[in-house]
Amino acid sequence: MNRENDILNRTRFLIQGLKDYTDARVDEAAEEAVRRVIKKSIKNCLKMAGLTALAILMFFGFIGLAFVSFYIMNSDAPISIIAYQCVVISTWVIGVSWMMLSLIESEE
């Protein structure tokens, strides 16, 4: 009877140790998963804030270019300056579109 109790106590001790080890591993895995989710959400928020700031900056830049273009086109400037300004505006629009698309695609 004493030997059976000893085996039973050791078995209970081993099972409790295994349970404690498993619980600790599950807790560590859950904490790591929460850290990854928080880190990813912060990264996405920073990307969206950067994208919003870039969009606002590009909007004001476009308005500035439009005012300069209208001023040059209404003055007696040579056609080469007007053509140059049209090229600058179209290049700027293409560049902004490309940057916005690359930021949106990198978010996914």
pLDDT value at position 108? 55
DSSP, residue by residue, 8-67: HHHHHHHHHHHHHHHHHHHHHHHHHHHHHHHHHHHHHHHHHHHHHHHHHHHHHHHHHHHH
In this structure, the chain runs to a length of 108
pLDDT value at position 96? 78
Q: What is the pLDDT of residues 33-67, one digit of tens each?
A: 889 999 988 888 887 787 778 778 777 877 877 77
Q: What is the pLDDT of residues 79-107, one digit of tens each?
A: 777 777 777 778 878 877 787 777 777 65
pTM across the whole model: 0.50
Res. 24 pLDDT band, cuts 50 70 90: confident
